[in-house]
């Protein structure tokens, strides 16, 4: 079966879906309309589904091909991870998961496109509308070709990726229990439409959020000795945190400490009694991740203590580092080669942006591919993600759907080389 040709037959449907999601973006964990729209499409296809993590949707497509023992995939049966225990399983028992994230960003879209966001201040500026529509496109192809495979395709429409929430909730709900492989896609405006980035091992950094709450003592500026200046403590803390990267971490071990919020003070003539700093860290190893967290906490607390105040540091884990499984990465390259040719396969450098698809890969061997969405003839497609003018070449919808569908079929049929 020529998967890409099958998908091209429903291109207009995919464009319609993508533009509908783009018109009605919703923030993380509030994707109520989006989830309902997904369910409507799955109902049309007769696909069993249920809600997970509030606004997430999980669907099942069960193949109807004659079953036979799955041939050896080269996996090591001695490994405890369920994802590797597949070489002797019956084909009908095999399970592969396909994941798309569905949330949008708090960005005011600025353009005159007919499908601009109708939800003011919220925008699909990270391509999750494409992910969503492409996975639904794959669902259409798979539902119409159940005789081509045995086993089960699990469709995971994940909420809350932008705030690092949805994947963890779905894992707690056992959504990847029994799954042997998981595959996901993300838009990549740095790649041209028709190119796909597949990189073995680390792809994205671990992302953490920190909030530092500083307590001082307010007083009139004319008597500073009677107060404890929380604003001054906050300012010294911000400067000191930047030095942690330049003086306490290795230049060849990427680390980012970014501070985006500093709030302190109530009036020009009052020594500030409290302050708040908020920021994020990006790291690429578990050890460095913990080391940086410990250093930030200690630095904030020590500086506050020096000046008579106190600091409370609150950490929120957004996502682990995204590390593609070696064998799964090669499987994805094989799929790209089949659909687009060897020249379409690209290797992207490590990104210090994060994606909590990483949490799924920690549970199940899998790979995350980056789907080229730019076209030099369409200027907005050259704009990077998280920008008010971001857009995609909608021909990438077909490629995304084809990659999802073919990966599932080849895995379930144990058809990889």
Pair type for strands 201-204 and 219-220:
unpaired
Task: Yes or no: say if 126 and 386 are a contact pair by the CB < 8 Å rule.
Answer: yes
Number of Cβ within a 10 Å radius of residue 323: 19
Q: How far apart are CA 114 and CA 389, in angstroms?
A: 13
Q: What is the DSSP letter of 81?
A: S
Distance from C-alpha of 175 to C-alpha of 161, rounded to nearest angstrom: 16
72, 70, 74: which is closest to 150 by C-alpha?
70
CB 332 within 8 A of CB 404: no
Binding site, by residue number, is: 126, 128, 162, 186, 386
In contact, 313 and 167? CB cutoff 8 Å: no
Dihedral sign for Cα 305, 307, 312, 314, please: negative
How far apart CA 120 and CA 117 sit, in angstroms, is 7
Binding site feature residues for Mn(2+): 126, 128, 162, 186, 386
CA distance 21 to 37: 9
């Amino acid at each position: 079966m020529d998967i890409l040709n099958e998908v091209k037959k429903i291109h207009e449907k995919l464009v319609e879906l993508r533009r509908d999601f783009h018109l009605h973006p919703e923030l993380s964990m509030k994707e109520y309309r989006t989830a309902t729209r997904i369910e409507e499409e799955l109902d049309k296809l007769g696909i069993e589904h249920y809600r997970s993590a509030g606004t997430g949707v999980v669907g099942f497509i069960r193949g109807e091909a004659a079953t036979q023992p799955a041939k050896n995939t080269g996996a090591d049966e001695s490994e405890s991870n369920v994802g590797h225990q597949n070489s002797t399983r019956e084909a009908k028992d095999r399970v592969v998961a396909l994941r798309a994230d569905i949330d949008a960003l708090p960005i005011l879209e600025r353009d005159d496109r007919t499908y601009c966001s109708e939800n003011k201040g919220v925008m699909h500026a990270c391509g999750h509308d494409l992910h969503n529509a492409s996975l639904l496109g794959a669902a259409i192809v798979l539902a119409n070709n159940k005789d081509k495979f045995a086993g089960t395709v699990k469709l995971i429409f994940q909420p809350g990726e932008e705030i690092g929430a949805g994947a963890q909730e779905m894992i707690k709900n056992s959504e990847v229990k029994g799954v042997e492989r998981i595959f996901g896609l993300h838009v990549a405006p740095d790649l041209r439409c028709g190119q796909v980035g597949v990189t073995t091992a680390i792809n994205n950094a671990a992302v953490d959020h920190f909030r530092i709450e500083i307590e001082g003592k307010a007083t009139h500026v004319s008597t500073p000795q009677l107060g404890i200046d929380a604003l001054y403590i906050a300012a010294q803390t911000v400067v000191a945190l930047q030095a942690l990267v330049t003086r306490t971490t290795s230049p060849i071990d990427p680390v980012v400490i970014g501070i985006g919020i500093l709030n302190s003070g109530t009036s020009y003539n009052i020594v500030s009694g409290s302050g708040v700093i908020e920021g994020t860290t990006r790291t690429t190893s578990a050890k460095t991740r913990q080391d940086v967290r410990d250093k930030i906490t200690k630095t904030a607390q020590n500086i506050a203590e020096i000046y008579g105040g106190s600091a409370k540091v609150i950490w929120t884990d957004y996502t682990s580092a995204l590390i593609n499984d070696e064998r799964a990465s090669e499987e994805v390259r094989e799929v790209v080669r089949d659909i687009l040719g060897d020249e379409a396969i690209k290797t992207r450098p490590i990104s210090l942006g994060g994606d909590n698809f990483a949490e799924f890969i920690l549970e199940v061997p899998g790979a995350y591919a980056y789907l080229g969405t730019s076209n030099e003839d369409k200027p907005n497609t050259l704009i990077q993600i998280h920008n008010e003018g971001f857009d995609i070449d909608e021909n990438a919808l077909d490629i995304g759907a084809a990659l999802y569908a073919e990966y599932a079929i080849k895995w379930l049929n144990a058809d990889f080389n």
